[in-house]
Structure 1
Amino acid sequence: MREFNEEMISFIDASPTPFHAVEWMARTLECRGFTRLAEDEKWELEEGQDYYVTRNDSSIIAFSYPPCSEKGYTIVGAHTDSPHLRLKPSPLTTVSGVKRLGVEPYGGVLLNPWFDRDLSLAGRIVYLDGEVRKETLINIDRPIAVIPSLAIHLDREANSSRTINAQSDIVPIIATGDVEFESFILSQIQDDTGELTLLAHELSFYEHQKGSFVGVESEFITSARLDNLLSCYVGLQALLETSYPMMCAFMDHEEVGSESHVGAGGTFVEETLRRIAGNDFEKLMRRSLMVSCDNAHAQHPNFPGKHESEHAPLLNQGVAIKINSNQRYATSSRTQGRFVQCARALHIPTQTFVTRSDTACGSTIGPITATRLGIETIDVGVPTLAMHSIRELAGISDAFGLYRILIHLGDY
């Protein structure tokens, strides 16, 4: 379990953006014998082979072939994106003698923890090398920015009633001297030495501090992007170790609604499954199971009243099965029963998560893919504290337990 979690943290550290996460997973799959497919080419799938395909380099689907004739695929769904601060197209400004880079919040980001952190920058850029358009990933991988707090002397209400203006208060500072943004970004390209011109970018700030174990017995994991790269890692490792036909579908843009050509609301998963199944698509969907893996809200010890008392998952007490009668989660009694039966056979505890009846319930890719594919689905997740913060907290045993269940779920 310790080794599993250490490798998971290494993956998250190496994946500051969805582009980097997909690149890491693609390399891992190829090292394990998976063949890359291209969406714009004809597929000739061979029995007993493993494949993967990407879209936009930020979503990835990997699968063994063929699916089981009786039970189809166990499909592990997760998302590659996390709430963060995205660089604006023309970000550079000068205020009070410092250079700043303007940002836009991506998703439901918790803004307070972004103050006074060592921030780095990573993502994808598109540029001209002479007359040739190219694109590449960059990761500066050192602290280049900070968002300083306003001193308590200048805001006496900071500890009781402070609000944050996303336009004016959360702007990273990067320098006091002259900085030319395009030149600085292009200087990160290693391979090209000709005349370069920046055309576009998708760059994100992230906390440079690495993930780690904390607690008296090192029983917690603290890291950025646990939601939801933790689930991506768990699903990928289960795919690599299971003996049953499995698919992983890790999608971008979940944190902003999934309505994009690379999101769960798009065509990527459906088109991939149709190409695999041919005329048997409907049969495959009736026999398969989607396991939507997305972190669950653990009961916060300082705010226990925020939870439904009988359905408040605890850290290191098992995977949470997420249930909502209004279909914000796609779990049914049938899919829950199958998942719990497998967990009990492995002596792995599970918990249930239901939001308070007077609290709004979030959602996942589960209901989206269930609607689009007509596939039976269960929503599960590792209990997590500080979700959508710059650093989140989970227990060391829960991700490993989910991994073990997914390996054997095809038995049930």
Structure 2
Amino acid sequence: MSKTQDTSESDASFAIEAKSCWETYASPEDRAAMRDLAGRYIDFLSTCKTERETVHFVRKALTDAGFTECADGDFAGDAVFRVLKGKTVFVARQGRKPLREGFRLVGAHGDTPRIDLKQHPLYQDCGVAQLKTHYYGGIRKHQWLARPLALHGVVAKKDGTVVPVTIGEDAADPVFAIPDLLPHLAYRQVEQKLADAFEAEKLNILIGHSPADPPAAPETAEGAEPAPKDAAKNGKDAIKTKVLALLHAKYGIGEADLYSAELQAVPAGPARFVGLDEALVGGYGQDDRACVFTALTALLTAPQPEHTQIVLFWDKEEIGSEGSTGAKSRFFEYCLDDLIEAWDPGARKSRVLAAGKALSADVHAPIDPDHQDLHEKLNSSTLGFGPVFCKFTGHRGKVGANDAHPEYVAWLRNLLDEAGVPWQMAELGRVDLGGGGTVAKFLAVYGMDVIDFGPSVLSMHSPFELTSVADIYAAMLAYKAFLSS
């Protein structure tokens, strides 16, 4: 049992007993399954570093599993999905019971904190070419300095073609970097507050250093004045010119095409096992692709459901779920309208929504061994003790929170205890010392029951986040039990 689960009623103490996933899943069969899932998860993290790449992975997995992709219009078939703008996915599998009797919904987000390029990014100064950036989501800026970065994304051209870009992941590729200030010149910086010491406008990425070869000088008549030197000849923009020439040679794009580009700087290199025992996974983007991967795996391995299963992977959660691909959009509603028309004509949408049960599948922060004072230990989660229920998020006086109802919490406790899946109950840090938000409140507006639930992540929002192999395995089984309930 997890540290927040009850003992059986026959136990006179009725105390909470702590038990880790490693104790629960101790058999050779469980350990082999755990290891296999972790290996596939590492491959997923290494491949999917943007929301578009994540959706591409999801689309292929669903298609291979027999799901039918349906664009705007009817949902034909009993296992369907729809993709919005390459960034958000709605997936549904029909249950034995009619849709009006409710559904089981798991919603996660595929976007992660990162560094985006500005629309006019490229410039040359001090003997190098650099890219201007604007960070996305809640990053700690100093963590992105002096480390290898890769560029991922797309460039949309005026003729309608969209060019995918990935530089820095192949062993033969160059990488990029944001330089850091040397300690010999950082005396003033180290005395500043962290928020002031690292300026967002100075997160500029090095992309080039050598100048373009000057063009051959045209022959002039004897005694004639030589032609004036242009920028490429005198070196003023020769490095920038070479960068543009290399981009054009490889991708067929020019500087103006960067206006309609979506390019992201992300940590270069694959995810890895961490620790001598390889019991941890380290890699970029585990908030919240840990939940995308485990929810997708759970869906594809779950049996035929009693209730309709819905899995949603949203974009833009890290900046408040805004925009057409975020959880604040009407995409979910529009898909549900089409689903009702196809699977349960005549059902009232309000009834379908109110009968639904949902998990906001998002990661949680476990107690940090080096910063235990920021956590209230009695209400903190521990790495390796299973996925975490967070009854409310928000900040200070629960502002901006979905506060799950106790009846729903009790139902979920029973569900996972019956399934033998360890779980925890915690909140995010000590009161008034932090806070956060998820998509839960955007689902709660429909009247459905919803709670935040996902695996723990150390070093959250950093370029190299850490999860427990055991927690990833338990989260997948928990989502599977929920979708099958």
TM-score (norm 1): 0.91
Q: Taking structure 1 as reference, are residues 26 and 196 closer, same or farther at Cα in structure 2, changes over 3 Å only?
A: farther
Match among 225, 232, 245 for residue 285 of structure 2: 225
1:15-66 deviation line (CA, Å, top 9, x unaligned): 1210111011101111111111112xx21523xx311111110111111125
> Residue 16 of structure 2 aligns with which residue?
none
Q: Taking structure 1 as reference, are residues 235 and 184 closer, same or farther at Cα in structure 2, changes over 3 Å only?
A: farther
- Are positions 1:171 and 2:231 aligned together? no
> Residue 2 of structure 1 aligns with which residue?
35
Which amino acid is 1:36 matched to? E
> Residue 449 of structure 2 aligns with which residue?
376
For residues 469 and 439 of structure 2, the distance between their equivalents in structure 1, rounded to whole angstroms, comes to 25
For residues 78 and 348 of structure 1, the distance between their equivalents in structure 2, rounded to whole angstroms, comes to 20
Which amino acid is 1:121 matched to? L
1:168-210 deviation line (CA, Å, top 9, x unaligned): 4311111112244555444444xxx799972610100011121
Q: Tell me, what secondary structure is at the counterpart of 1:384?
A: coil
Greater Cα offset, 105-114 or 318-327: 318-327
* 1:228-267 mapped onto 2 (5 Å cutoff): 228-243=288-303, 244=305, 245-267=308-330
How far residue 148 of structure 1 moved from its aligned partner, in angstroms, is: 1.8
Greater Cα offset, 402-411 or 174-183: 174-183
> Residue 24 of structure 1 aligns with which residue?
57
Which amino acid is 1:136 matched to? V
> Residue 186 of structure 2 aligns with which residue?
155
- Give aligned pairs, total: 401
Q: Tell me, what secondary structure is at the counterpart of 1:227?
A: helix
- Are positions 1:291 and 2:359 aligned together? yes
CA contact (8 A) 2:358 2:449 kept: yes
For residues 366 and 333 of structure 1, the distance between their equivalents in structure 2, rounded to whole angstroms, comes to 16
How far residue 369 of structure 1 moved from its aligned partner, in angstroms, is: 1.9
For residues 202 and 433 of structure 2, the distance between their equivalents in structure 1, rounded to whole angstroms, comes to 29
1:369-388 deviation line (CA, Å, top 9, x unaligned): 221x3221111121111111
Greater Cα offset, 233-242 or 212-221: 212-221
How far residue 253 of structure 1 moved from its aligned partner, in angstroms, is: 0.5
How far residue 8 of structure 1 moved from its aligned partner, in angstroms, is: 1.1
CA contact (8 A) 1:127 1:196 kept: no
Match among 133, 143, 156 for residue 113 of structure 1: 143
For residues 65 and 143 of structure 1, the distance between their equivalents in structure 2, rounded to whole angstroms, comes to 47
> Residue 86 of structure 1 aligns with which residue?
116
CA contact (8 A) 1:89 1:200 kept: yes
For residues 236 and 186 of structure 1, the distance between their equivalents in structure 2, rounded to whole angstroms, comes to 38
Q: Tell me, what secondary structure is at the counterpart of 1:147?
A: coil
For residues 374 and 171 of structure 1, the distance between their equivalents in structure 2, rounded to whole angstroms, comes to 45
Gapped runs of 5+ residues in structure 2? 1-33, 211-238, 393-397
* 1:333-412 mapped onto 2 (5 Å cutoff): 333-355=406-428, 356-371=430-445, 373-410=446-483, 412=485
How far residue 395 of structure 1 moved from its aligned partner, in angstroms, is: 0.8
Which has the larger share of strand?
1
> Residue 136 of structure 1 aligns with which residue?
163
Greater Cα offset, 82-91 or 6-15: 6-15
Match among 211, 222, 227 for residue 271 of structure 2: 211
How far residue 275 of structure 1 moved from its aligned partner, in angstroms, is: 1.2
- Are positions 1:314 and 2:388 aligned together? no
CA contact (8 A) 1:108 1:388 kept: yes
Q: Taking structure 1 as reference, are residues 349 and 195 closer, same or farther at Cα in structure 2, changes over 3 Å only?
A: closer
Give the percent of matched residue pairs that are identical in Structure 1 and Structure 2. Answer: 22
1:278-315 deviation line (CA, Å, top 9, x unaligned): 34222221222111111101111111111122111111
Which amino acid is 2:439 matched to? I
Which amino acid is 2:289 matched to? L
For residues 331 and 92 of structure 1, the distance between their equivalents in structure 2, rounded to whole angstroms, comes to 47
Gapped runs of 5+ residues in structure 1? none
CA contact (8 A) 1:118 1:143 kept: no
Which amino acid is 2:266 matched to? Y
> Residue 65 of structure 1 aligns with which residue?
94
- Are positions 1:331 and 2:331 aligned together? no
Match among 315, 331, 340 for residue 277 of structure 1: 340
Q: Tell me, what secondary structure is at the counterpart of 1:53?
A: strand
1:307-333 deviation line (CA, Å, top 9, x unaligned): 122111111111110022556144322
Q: Which of the two has higher C-alpha Rg?
A: 2
Q: Tell me, what secondary structure is at the counterpart of 2:436?
A: coil
How far residue 68 of structure 1 moved from its aligned partner, in angstroms, is: 3.3
Q: Taking structure 1 as reference, are residues 112 and 68 closer, same or farther at Cα in structure 2, changes over 3 Å only?
A: farther
Q: Tell me, what secondary structure is at the counterpart of 1:385?
A: coil
Question: Over the residues paired in the alignment, what is the CA RMSD in angstroms?
Answer: 2.2
CA contact (8 A) 1:342 1:405 kept: no
1:317-368 deviation line (CA, Å, top 9, x unaligned): 1111002255614432222222222221232221112242223421100111
For residues 322 and 377 of structure 2, the distance between their equivalents in structure 1, rounded to whole angstroms, comes to 34
How far residue 222 of structure 1 moved from its aligned partner, in angstroms, is: 0.7
For residues 164 and 95 of structure 2, the distance between their equivalents in structure 1, rounded to whole angstroms, comes to 33
Q: Taking structure 1 as reference, are residues 112 and 285 closer, same or farther at Cα in structure 2, changes over 3 Å only?
A: same
For residues 152 and 395 of structure 1, the distance between their equivalents in structure 2, rounded to whole angstroms, comes to 35
For residues 283 and 377 of structure 1, the distance between their equivalents in structure 2, rounded to whole angstroms, comes to 16
TM-score (norm 2): 0.78
Greater Cα offset, 30-39 or 197-206: 197-206
For residues 261 and 244 of structure 2, the distance between their equivalents in structure 1, rounded to whole angstroms, comes to 10
Q: Taking structure 1 as reference, are residues 73 and 209 closer, same or farther at Cα in structure 2, changes over 3 Å only?
A: same
Which amino acid is 1:249 matched to? L
